[in-house]
Structure 1
């Protein structure tokens, strides 16, 4: 009788498990619910391991909705030493978190539902993004979205062609203090971040992009022109918006690395900082994976890169005023 009772309990448990799966989705071979499998392209950045640790944790936040990193293609930069040397170590880290390592992007796409394009080298992003878009999979592209304004425009044009919304953002978009800003009341802003240079990328694309994104998060789109002051230790870029508001970005290369700023509003000033970590960005990535709704429009991301390209042109012209329209026109003709 005891054996029959145990058998009945087993069958009841099995039935309940099956019911649960039928309601929530089917399990893939990896044990992750189908539709929730994330693939990573590029293990040459700490973002890859940071995201994987948050997503694959045994006590992962319920807001992450069961999404897990299940496979990764490690190849990132091939010639940026600071990136290349990270790949073996980061590969071992994600393997310990249950991630399968694959040998190509095509192999990855056969095993996952959505993609985190994490390659640190923006020069590879267009090439790596295209097969993902052709496969119709939603994709987050980490900063920089590309290593040129021309490639950034091409990526978003491809997304439009294949009807796949893509999302790109810096975690500095979620810096503390920003949640208290009423953007309709913003009169101007000053932001700052490190702006370490990398010879393979336009100056601000490599690291200054984080502070520039903070600036656009509070100011919004509509920047008309920029002027840039540059020396070995500092960059200051002054942007004038179409409505007359002024926003500035200070990029630093000496002293302690830090992020922050001040937002000037109709009701007083708001101080931004400190940095708020990766979790707020990751929550928005998961919402995007789930719904297809992008938290940041293509227009805003492209304008951020046009701002930085115009800043580079201003540097080449000894601080002269450069319009964003002029660099956009050039990029679209390339």
Structure 2
């Protein structure tokens, strides 16, 4: 594991706003109106801070009306079975979830009986396919937190199963929805001709390098560039990676993954009408708004094809590393 500490980053990137960061204070802050039928949210996996932060946002007394009344009512603890950094987070997160009055159940089956939609929050992408299958079979809409899986093969299997059971699903990093990226997506600089982004990129031995944390930057890059990448080259050192993607229309996008030194998220997008700086992370709210809109409508804000291509991009980057920086054609 690199000198980056995922939990240290989460503590640094503190959420601001009423009702957030207030664990341990009066429970009345989160004693809002009980969820109505159809609005009950279940959580799978308490090995990530997202489970707590999303619950605080949805269950606050003065929760944003744009959340459409969705509230977390039950949670299943099991996430990763063997990643130490994830397992160490469970006791603290479990205590905070209980403080919010959220029921703890002993199985995914029990969770599905008590809830209407699912936040699959397990930190370990390797368990996502196994945990998502019963959700699909139950016909419940599900958001799968990043990474959607720990391999391209499992990613394809997840979407194939969702299609089989006709259940909407999507996966995303919160970084995709930061304001500076959304402004570019809405045409601020015209057609995007290229992009350079940077991201913290600590690694975890159970996942391909970029899948564990660098995926945040990959989401940023693809949110700016869109699909169509077909060639990937990765230059790597002990402390840093630079991954270059060439799109089929000739555009170039780069990702700098930082494992040591000052960290943050950012970059620049280049367009026909200007150059836009890409800002840092500030809040989970834009992502939670997208999730609750998805729960309400069943329309995923990120298409399966884009998520699949991002996973192919990261696998190609790993293959390029193994080949000492050779260019790799993506398997999409």
TM-score, shorter chain, exceeding 0.5:
yes
Give every structure 1 segment of 4 or more consecutive aligned residues whose post-TM-superposition deviation is greater than 4 Å.
none
Q: Do 1:122 and 1:145's aligned partners in 2 also have CA atoms closer than 8 Å? A: yes
User: Match of 1:237, SS?
Assistant: strand
Distance 2:34 2:198 in 1: 43
Q: Do 1:114 and 1:138's aligned partners in 2 also have CA atoms closer than 8 Å? A: yes
Match of 2:83 among 72, 80, 85: 80
Which residue pairs with 1:318 in the alignment? 324
* Structure 2 alignment gaps of length 5 or more: 1-32
- CA shift at 1:184, angstroms? 5.3
* Cα distance per residue 1:173-210 (max 9 Å; x no partner): 02231132128510100001001010000000000000
Q: Do 1:149 and 1:305's aligned partners in 2 also have CA atoms closer than 8 Å? A: yes
Match of 2:145 among 138, 142, 145: 142
Structure number with the higher helix fraction is 1
Map 1:149-188 → 2, pairs under 5 A: 149-181=152-184, 182=187, 185-188=191-194
Distance 1:288 1:84 in 2: 29
Decide which structure has the larger Cα Rg and report it.
1
Which residue pairs with 1:287 in the alignment? 293
Distance 2:262 2:297 in 1: 39
Higher relative contact order (CA 8 A, sep 6+): 2
Which residue pairs with 1:103 in the alignment? 106
Distance 1:176 1:194 in 2: 19
* Cα distance per residue 1:97-142 (max 9 Å; x no partner): 1200000000000000000000000000000000000000000000
Q: Do 1:41 and 1:119's aligned partners in 2 also have CA atoms closer than 8 Å? A: yes
* Structure 1 alignment gaps of length 5 or more: 1-29, 329-334
Count the aligned residue pairs: 297
Q: Do 1:172 and 1:276's aligned partners in 2 also have CA atoms closer than 8 Å? A: no
Distance 2:283 2:209 in 1: 24
Q: Do 1:174 and 1:276's aligned partners in 2 also have CA atoms closer than 8 Å? A: no
Distance 1:166 1:179 in 2: 21
Q: Do 2:190 and 2:272's aligned partners in 1 also have CA atoms closer than 8 Å? A: no
